[in-house]
Amino acid sequence: MKTIIIEDEKPAARRLSRMLEELDVTIATMLHSVDEAIEWFQNNEHPDLIFLDIQLSDGLSFEIFDVVEVHSAIIFTTAFDEYALQAFKLNSIDYILKPIDDEDLEQAVNKYRTRFKTAVEPNKIALDFEDIKKLLVNPLEREYKKRFTAKVGQHLKIINAEDVECFFSENKGTYAATKDGRNYLLDTTLEQLEPELKPQTFFRVSRKYFINVDYIKDIISYTNSRLQIKLNNNPQLEIIVSREKVKDFKLWLE
């Protein structure tokens, strides 16, 4: 397994290399800039796996792939916030938040080994860097969806995002629960909604619910270290913050 590190901070690159050696991963080389990486890829056999820092000293690392076609598997190392990480989940082997934790690194390496150990060409995967770059735009500068439409009889109902207390899935349908206490069926899924919702306003508390912070009426301790959310105008909805989301939810509220 040929592996390289692309990281502009040399001490961080050396630390990552030492951590990987403890996992029996040998690093072929360490690159520290967009230009250096382009030159290396043009003159060397491409690796099976890249540990890729997103922000390099001379630009975003994605600029490498505007010049050189690379199909190596990628594990991102990033300090970007949660709003951007959905792209990595869809397009990469994994991502690791800085500062890099031993356990997170081991899980990412094991994930790569498990997924590619039986592949005929383990380094041949396609990444959609354009989609990733779009999601790396500062969330304060991005444009999010301001309104949605729902079919009501023979009519189309326009629903403003600011009037939605939560989005939820039920019986294979996706609904918008609005401040008037009604639920409207939408022609979308929660996964499709995720990049369209402003992350400062909406948070996915579980696989079933996105909630709007402006309509939280009460937060109650619930069984198994979970939380229960009560909304202002839709008290009938039983919204539980899943245990793995509780920590991030509390940070989001601050």
pTM of this structure: 0.52
How many Cβ atoms are within 10 Å of 202's Cβ, its own excluded? 23
Note whether residue 197 is domain-resident.
Answer: yes
Note whether residue 116 is domain-resident.
Answer: yes
Note whether residue 142 is domain-resident.
Answer: no
Q: Compute φ and ψ for 241, nearest 5 degrees.
A: -80, 120
Residue 247 has pLDDT above 50, yes or no: yes
Contact 176, 183 (CB under 8 A): yes
* DSSP class per residue in 237-253: --EEE-GGGHHHHHHHH
CATH number, domain with residue 120: 3.40.50.2300
Shared domain for 51 and 160, answered yes or no, is no
Residue 58 token pair: 């001379």
Q: What is the pLDDT of residues 221-232, one digit of tens each?
A: 999 999 999 999
Note whether residue 16 is domain-resident.
Answer: yes
> What's the domain range around 197?
147-253
CA distance 22 to 102: 10
Q: What is the pLDDT of residues 89-104, one digit of tens each?
A: 544 556 777 778 888 8
* DSSP class per residue in 123-191: T-----HHHHHHHTS-TTTS----EEEEEETTEEEEEEGGGEEEEEEETTEEEEEETTS-EEEESS-HH
**pLDDT tier, 7 (very low <50, low <70, confident <90, very high otherwise):** very high
Domain count, the chain: 2
Note whether residue 176 is domain-resident.
Answer: yes
**pLDDT tier, 138 (very low <50, low <70, confident <90, very high otherwise):** low
What pLDDT shows up at residue 134? 60
State which amino acid sits at residue 194.
E
Distances (CA, A) of 11 to 7, 18, 30, 37, 40: 9, 11, 11, 18, 20
Q: What is the pLDDT of residues 22-40, one digit of tens each?
A: 999 989 999 999 999 999 9
Shared domain for 58 and 158, answered yes or no, is no
Q: Could you say which of 79, 109, 135 is where a domain stops?
A: 135
pLDDT, mean over the chain: 84
What pLDDT shows up at residue 144? 85
Q: What is the pLDDT of residues 149-189, one digit of tens each?
A: 999 999 999 999 999 999 999 998 999 999 999 999 999 99
Shared domain for 151 and 125, answered yes or no, is no
Note whether residue 140 is domain-resident.
Answer: no
Residue 77 has pLDDT above 60, yes or no: yes
Shared domain for 124 and 166, answered yes or no, is no
Shared domain for 174 and 58, answered yes or no, is no
